[in-house]
């Protein structure tokens, strides 16, 4: 404003999104594949000094697995602003 006071702020960041997890059907419920993938991903992110990551979950069963793995369900809605449009 005229008094050089900050009256608004907005940040841009590059979040780390974890996507594309896939386990073959016959290994999904009774194997260690998903747990080993999670352990490996956490180790990789730690080695890269990445402290926070996100994933988008739409299936209730997968949401339960994500919560069991330590993911926290966040409030709000994910929205996209597509700047490629004119």
Residue 44, SS3 per DSSP: helix
- Write down the pTM of the prediction: 0.75
Give the single-character DSSP code of 41: H
Name the percent of the chain lying above pLDDT 90: 71
22 Cβ neighbours under 8 A, 6+ residues apart: none
Q: Both ends of the chain: CA-CA distance in Å?
A: 31
* Residues 58-64, mean pLDDT to the nearest whole number: 90
């Amino acid at each position: 404003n005229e008094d050089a006071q900050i009256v608004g702020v907005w940040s841009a960041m590059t979040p780390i999104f974890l996507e594309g997890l896939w386990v073959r059907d016959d290994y999904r419920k009774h194997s260690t594949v998903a747990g080993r993938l999670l352990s490996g991903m956490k180790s990789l992110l730690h080695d890269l000094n990445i402290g926070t990551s996100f994933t988008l979950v739409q299936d209730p069963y997968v949401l339960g697995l994500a919560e069991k793995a330590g993911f926290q369900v966040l409030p709000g809605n994910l929205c996209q602003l597509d700047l490629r449009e004119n």
